[in-house]
């Protein structure tokens, strides 16, 4: 997969490594940089064949998602595509991770029990707060 960013005046910006920054040296000694909050448009071309890389993972990495999270997502995705989901079950969890997972399960169960269609829509924010355990 190839990824290229340009400034508004079409100067290329090197983003080959998320850890080295978002800039490319220019002829005049300045640095072309992608500004914070600058609009990004993702362009891609579909082609026949199997892609061995995740476009979503590459976009996440470029947009600043921590690399350890991107790598973990790629690892889990690879396990799923190779029908090795049981390997995830074999991984150990810390007590904190177990508590977080149990809390997430409780929230999911409350969300699934919520009759959204039967709700009149007036107190959605309040109800969502209840589901998330904020109220």
The token pair at 32 is: 């072309």
pLDDT at 24: 44
Residues in the chain: 135
Q: Which residue range forms the structural domain that includes residue 119?
A: 95-131
In this structure, the answer to whether residues 72 and 14 fall within a common structural domain is yes
In 7-84, DSSP assigns E strands to 12-13, 23-25, 31-33
Instruction: Name residue, tokens 């609009």.
Output: 39
Q: Which of 62, 59, 56 is nearest to 13 (CA)?
A: 62
With beta carbons less than 8 A apart as the criterion, state whether 74 and 61 touch. no
With beta carbons less than 8 A apart as the criterion, state whether 88 and 101 touch. no
Higher per-residue pLDDT: 76 or 120: 76
User: Collapsing DSSP states into helix, strand and coil, what is residue 6?
Assistant: strand
Total domain count, the chain: 2
In this structure, the answer to whether residues 31 and 70 fall within a common structural domain is yes
> pLDDT digit string (tens) for 33-90?
555 666 666 666 777 887 777 778 888 887 788 899 999 999 988 888 888 888 887 7
pTM exceeding the 0.75 threshold for the entire prediction: no
Q: Is the pLDDT of residue 6 over 60?
A: yes
In this structure, the answer to whether residues 114 and 56 fall within a common structural domain is no
With beta carbons less than 8 A apart as the criterion, state whether 59 and 15 touch. no
pLDDT at 17: 43
């Amino acid at each position: 997969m190839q990824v290229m960013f340009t400034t508004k005046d079409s100067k290329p910006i090197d983003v080959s490594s998320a850890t080295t920054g978002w800039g490319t040296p220019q002829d005049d000694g300045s640095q072309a940089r992608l500004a914070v909050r600058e609009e990004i448009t993702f362009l891609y071309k579909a082609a026949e064949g199997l892609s061995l890389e995740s476009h979503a993972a590459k976009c996440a990495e470029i947009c600043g998602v921590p690399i350890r999270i991107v790598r973990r997502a790629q690892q889990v995705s690879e396990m799923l595509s190779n029908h090795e989901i049981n390997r995830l079950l074999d991984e150990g969890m810390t007590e904190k991770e177990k508590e977080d997972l149990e809390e997430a399960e409780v929230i999911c169960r409350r969300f699934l029990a919520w009759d959204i269609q039967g709700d009149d829509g007036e107190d959605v924010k309040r109800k969502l707060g209840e589901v998330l355990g904020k109220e």
